[in-house]
Amino acid sequence: MSIKQTQLKTIKDFKVRFALDATEENVVTTIHIMNTHLIDKDTALDQSSLGSSDFGIDGWYYDSRTNELFIYQSKLTDSKRLALRGLKDLTTALTYLEKIIVQKVVGRVPTNKSIYNLYIELSKNVDNLKKISFILISPFNPNDLLDASEFNEAETAIRESELFKMLYEKGGRITLDIQEYNFEKSIAPTNKKYTINKLDNSLIRLRN
């Protein structure tokens, strides 16, 4: 199997178009999140780890309607062996989330912008959280990876975690999944625009 040239071109074009100082693997996570959850580019970039110190989390998305947190680990590779290493990274993400959600331990404020944004999102929604989906994304068809021993090992680590037990007691759950990169609907929706009314000669200060 090889990564399709059309997919690589989409990734590289996206990187150049928006002048992103990131690897193709970082960028493909942004594209996947945009297309899967139908969010705009800026939001997806804020939720993609374009750098180091990501604790095994390449991207994330929180669905406030279902109170579900999606955690992504990306492996842009032609090697099944290397792709499956992403499952180990997801167990690292599990440990990090467990410290924040169960043990209430942060240690230090995350330096990675995406992880900091995740930390802020969790601080607001931790009591409402119902489900966490850990997802490995790669160029491979999920059926090519699901039977691997690494998948079973990661599932076991999840079931034996304190985070799993806590959510289970609340009626929630944690799942592990494998998905192929989503290059469909690659044109993300535009940012929302709002009209703000003000008095004549008045000044309104806005956040970024």
Query: How does strand 131-138 pair with strand 173-180?
Result: parallel
Q: Which of 162, 55, 72, 184 is nearest to 110 (CA)?
A: 55
Tokens 């032609």, residue?
78
**What are the tens digits of pLDDT across the range 169-196?**
999 999 999 999 999 864 545 555 656 6
What would the pLDDT profile of 66-113 be if each residue is shown by its tens digit? 999 999 999 999 999 999 999 999 999 999 999 999 988 776 778 889
All residues at 6 or more sequence positions from 81 whose CB lies less than 8 Å from its CB, including other chains: none
Query: How far apart are alpha carbons 56 and 91 in whole angstroms?
Result: 8
What band does 60 get if pLDDT is binned at 50, 70 and 90? Answer: very high
pLDDT on residue 53: 84
Q: What is the pTM of this model?
A: 0.86
Q: Could you tell me which of 84, 76, 82 has the C-alpha nearest to residue 22?
A: 76
136: nearest Cα among 122, 151, 147: 151
